[in-house]
Structure 1
């Protein structure tokens, strides 16, 4: 750099530092130091910042660079309370300090001789000052003696002030960046920082696979409800501290909000290792935490997914980890699930369903199949259950289990439910007009959304009137968990339906939600024994006892009882022996399209080979 006047030197430094930020600060500082060394004819120069919390001085830049820098570098961090007298004095200095050969600093000169072999040096140390407080030092070293004029020191003070302004600006920018990239409750990084980190980890050429753990605390709301949200926040903070203390410092730990966390281990892991580490973390989270005067714990569900650098995107990895988490939670929670190809297929189907279900409700691709319910003693068809199917354009005929849950999660349950009721009622009315199904009840499943809808009774009444169906020919089936979800609203709806004569049955009965008080409080006509109990009749004494108690319970309340999922003759004969005569299942008939049902409605019976005691024939009459 051409030699400049002192004033022009300050102007040049100010121009150089004006647009500098944290990423360019070191390089810009080194350029300025190189100019200052040349201008002031010194040997070395350095810029250091003060870390008040540690009472230490941190090396930011030096010129010229040392040819060999040891690791660790003893000059990188220097503590004031363990350094030489000159450096210690700089901790609180706000005015330039000049050290020259002589008795005043003989101990310092002796240290220099012992460490470098140089007989004596002259040093000018100019503090960086911000708001009256020293925040660093700009230093110059010259072998031998050098006198520093007042004019020179004043110029260096001006340049030090420019460095102090840069330092303050960078600190402020770093603080804003910290706030933007960290969770304010725990100090963990947030979603934005996580995404940046994962983008870098998944860049082509990096080591992999990259494991990602998606954590969700189980039932944190219960803790908040019982102890208050302050206690819940303290629990989250304690848990975050525990994770930091027990994981590799290089691991990325992010809080996405609420009770959701994501951990990205620094080391590459295969699926087996990732599963083991996730289990360790899950058990770590489960340890008890003291919150105020209470000692509490929460379980955690963990979903694990792997990403391959250069092949997998961040969104793909997080979505897979989230899917694995949902799988872990659906299995009861407090467990670990690793994303698999089977899981991929399941969630691809779910995404497909979610994208296309709305149009399916209106484009005619939904169809109803009907499963007969018979009297096991005679084979007489007593009811037909309407079951929705979706004729998917690429996946074929989908059962309700593949899309009803998605409908409920995407606010389509009401629209889907109304379509089923209208379509089943229209078909049932057609059969009635043709002299079929005169003594048959049509059974229709009702979703929780429909049951608590304020206009459901009115909607149902309009459909029955439109198709000329009497209410007693219709039985609406509700599941047990719907009963307890909103008992008061359920009572109002069911009583309105009963005024129209509509029958009510509780589906999947015996799965643990209902109680005797619910049966007494609701106008229910029948219960349908959950298929899981019926399918194991003849193989499980426990299930036999449960079915027997349900039949007895129904009888004591004057309710009808239906056995679902009858697939073996043993199950059918057992139901009859227990006094449950009505049943449906694959042994009797599978769900079938309307045109196939008409054959059975024409005869009114389905042939069964049950070899029941007291019957003269083992094969009941079929179509005549």
Structure 2
């Protein structure tokens, strides 16, 4: 076979064409050639198409004794012919003039003639047609050549071309051209299949509304970025638009969609081409910059993105803007998993939103500890309810004038296997967020009632009320009144000895349902107290509408008595308000003698706090119950000693 003018094998690899592309094969019949090409192309996908096409082209070059062979696809949108594969390889040229050939720039050239052609075209050496000759000579760098161009046809439309170039002239038989048409048809089928597969992949990897990458594409991209040896650190920005729901509510969901689409375009236009921008749905986005960056650089870039988002957008006849909360996390290739990076970015986002929104938060070790605890709690709390690792401590409430123990508040604790004794603040919120609040609450009520009944049978706590905190989930449960009635009956406790404590925000969540539940409890004689009173949720109308027996002043106000005139005024007003409604009033969080004396001076005589007694196990509480009182030295006016130890 002659390679004159082609330069033989021009592949830059050290191996020759035969070893680089595939073993040489014996001379085939035309029919066997078609069969072998069909077998070669059958399992090809987008990632292997070029390599497989080059193998086939190498066979065709050898079989038909030509100097050069190429495969091109037509890009209908750009009206261009795009090079897919060639054999042998031409010397590298940048830019390559044959990589993309636009038809409108080659109006008299060979490729322009092929744009709409459905049948093979033979071009022979012709001194009278220099334009044609230059076009095909440029294809392989061979002078005085002939060419056979066989269109790839799909659904009666040309989609590309399979071309052969030979130095000098060559006669193509009808049989050969028919075989080439069959091979071109195989390439056309492969092209159509890959286009369809790529379309399906695009749909599977992109968001319908914006065309941005979706979660699946994001995960694949981050897997690649976090492989060992890749450049890092890899930053991830988790974005959440603030108050998008308000825009949807007032302007409609179409306006909200238009806002999201406009924002997507703005992000694409103002970020680097290599940056991954993904929409996870709703108003959540994740951006992974292509450039490695440390925490300081990532925080600056997050701030820049936040400012981009804050620019106003025209939606219909309105011009609107939304802020964004951004959580930032870094991953180290080879050390950090994709799940870890996204979880940390999400935690940082939650921190940004909890600080009022429209801010940037970078994941820190402190956040790590907080959320590791939360994850641990969520994973193990359900088992703790049933395996005996929960326990109750009791905090006494006394009459500050006498020290007499008037109530005990049951407070749940968790003896965690690795973290030690956890207070309720570490896990009650998780219980409420994971539908465990009801189960946890029932355990507390049963356990507190059982312990209280034991004390009563032993002659202790005869004039003491047991206080139990109730979660929002319990309060709106349809069977809560029935459950309480069953507990009281089982342990032989009269309802008046039990006080259920509810927080202010529970009252306003579902006032109608709360009224029904509380009235049912009152029919059993159960007392009701509003805990953390004064934090701003309740109103006078709620106090009038609900059968409440007492309010407990929020510890934040009590702790600052003696140091804050504002808190003094608030506590004074709460005591006065409770008196006007005929309600009992309890001061929480008493930690100083100044606070205790101030409460007494204001007419609030009942209190609990660390000055009086910390929460303690049941056996320690028994000592105070047996004594009936807790000795205090408050030096109240009118007495030499405010409380003397002794029986009540």
TM-score by length of 1: 0.93
Does residue 417 in structure 1 map to residue 441 in structure 2?
yes
Partner of 2:81: 57
Residue 618 of structure 1: CA displacement? 4.8
**Range with greater deviation from structure 2 (433-442 or 304-313):** 433-442
1:621 aligns with 2:644: yes
Q: Provide closer, same or farther for how the CA distance between residues 243 and 85 of structure 1 changes in structure 2, counting only shifts above 3 A.
A: same
1:472 to 496, 503, 510: 496
Deviation for aligned residue 1:251: 1.6
Separation of aligned partners in 2, 1:142 and 1:354: 73
1:164 alignment partner, one of 176, 185, 188: 188
Q: Which runs of 5+ in 1 are unaligned?
A: none
* Aligned counterpart for 2:166 among listed residues 114, 127, 142: 142
Correspondence for 1:74: 97
The question of whether the paired residues in 1 share the 8 Å contact of 2:242 and 2:358 is answered with yes
Please give the per-residue CA displacement for 1:433-489, whole angstroms capped at 9, x wherever unaligned.
Answer: 333323322111001111011111111112122222222221111111211211111
Question: Could you report, residue by residue, the CA deviation over 1:352-379 in whole angstroms, capped at 9, with x for unpaired residues?
Answer: 2223222222222211111122233333
Provide the rounded CA distance (Å) in 2 between the counterparts of 1:128 and 1:224: 49
Give the conservation status (yes or no) of the 8 Å contact 1:476–1:502.
yes
User: How far apart, CA to CA, are the structure 1 residues paired with 2:537 and 2:115?
Assistant: 70
Do the aligned partners of 2:68 and 2:140 also contact (CA within 8 Å) in 1?
no
Q: Secondary structure at the match of 2:415?
A: strand
User: Retained in 1: the 8 A contact 2:432–2:473?
Assistant: yes
- Aligned positions, number: 622
Q: 1:13 to 1:583 in 2, by over 3 A?
A: same
In the other structure, the counterpart of 1:376 is 400
Judged with a 3 Å threshold, the aligned counterparts in structure 2 of structure 1 residues 282 and 511 are, in CA distance, closer, same or farther, namely farther
Rounded Cα–Cα distance in structure 2 between residues aligned with 1:621 and 1:598: 19
Bigger mean CA deviation after superposition, 371-380 or 386-395: 371-380
Match of 2:431 in 1: 407
Q: Distance in 2 between matches of 1:509 and 1:73?
A: 77
Of 507-516 and 107-116, the range deviating more from structure 2: 107-116
Partner of 1:20: 44
In the TM superposition, what are the counterparts of 1:198-277 in structure 2 within 5 Å? Answer: 198-277=222-301
Q: Report which stretch shifted further, 451-460 or 587-596.
A: 587-596
Aligned to 2:149: 125
Structure 2 unaligned regions, length at least 5: 1-24
Q: How far does residue 170 in structure 1 lie from its aligned partner after superposition?
A: 0.7
Q: CA deviation at 1:41?
A: 2.7
**1:538–1:571 CA contact under 8 A, matched in 2:** yes
Relative to structure 1, is the Cα distance of residues 284 and 542 closer, same or farther in structure 2, using a 3 angstrom cutoff?
Answer: farther
- Counterpart CA distance in 2 for 1:347 and 1:114 is 64
Deviation at 1:544, TM superposition (A): 3.1
Q: Is the 8 A contact 2:306 2:326 kept in 1?
A: yes
How far apart are the structure 1 equivalents of 2:291 and 2:599?
A: 59
Counterpart of 2:575 in structure 1 is 551
In the superposition, relative to structure 1, how do residues 116 and 189 fare at CA in structure 2: closer, same or farther (>3 Å)?
closer
Whether the 8 Å contact between 1:6 and 1:155 is mirrored in structure 2 is yes
Q: CA deviation at 1:103?
A: 5.6
Q: Distance in 2 between matches of 1:53 and 1:609?
A: 90
- What do residues 369-416 of structure 1 show as CA deviations (whole Å, max 9, x unaligned)? 111222333333222111011122222111011111122222221121
Deviation at 1:534, TM superposition (A): 2.2
Equivalents in 2 of 1:430, 1:115: separation in Å?
A: 99
SS at match of 1:85: coil
CA contact (8 A) 1:600 1:623 kept: no
Q: Flag the 1:79–1:111 CA change in 2: closer, same or farther, 3 A.
A: closer
1:34 to 2:58 alignment: yes
The change in CA–CA distance for 1:464 and 1:123 in structure 2 (over 3 A counts) is same
1:508 is aligned to 532
Q: Is the 8 A contact 1:101 1:109 kept in 2?
A: yes
**Distance in 1 separating the partners of 2:141 and 2:100:** 23
CA contact (8 A) 1:535 1:565 kept: yes
Q: Equivalent residue for 2:455?
A: 431
Q: 1:498 aligns with which of 498, 519, 522?
A: 522
Q: Aligned pair 1:522/2:541, yes or no?
A: no
Cα distance change on mapping 1:319 and 1:173 into 2, 3 Å: same
CA contact (8 A) 1:305 1:320 kept: yes
SS in 1 for 2:538: coil
Once residues 104 and 151 of structure 1 are traced to their aligned partners in structure 2, the CA distance between those partners, rounded to angstroms, is: 29
Query: Per-residue deviation at 1:116?
Result: 8.5
Secondary structure of residue in 1 paired with 2:129: helix
Match of 1:311 in 2: 335
Q: Secondary structure, in 3 states, of the residue corresponding to 1:439? A: coil
Structure-1 separation of matches of 2:305 and 2:88: 48
Q: Any conservation in 2 of the 1:239–1:285 contact (CA below 8 Å)?
A: yes
Is the Cα contact below 8 Å between 1:602 and 1:623 reproduced in 2? no
Change (3 A) 1:117 1:426: closer
Q: 1:14 to 1:549 in 2, by over 3 A?
A: same
Q: Does 1:182 align with 2:167?
A: no
1:129–1:502 CA distance, 2 compared to 1 (3 A): same
The whole-number CA distance in structure 2 between the counterparts of 1:185 and 1:130 is 31
The answer (yes or no) to whether the contact 2:137–2:145 under 8 Å persists in 1 is no
For residues 194 and 141 of structure 2, what CA distance do their matches in structure 1 show?
A: 37
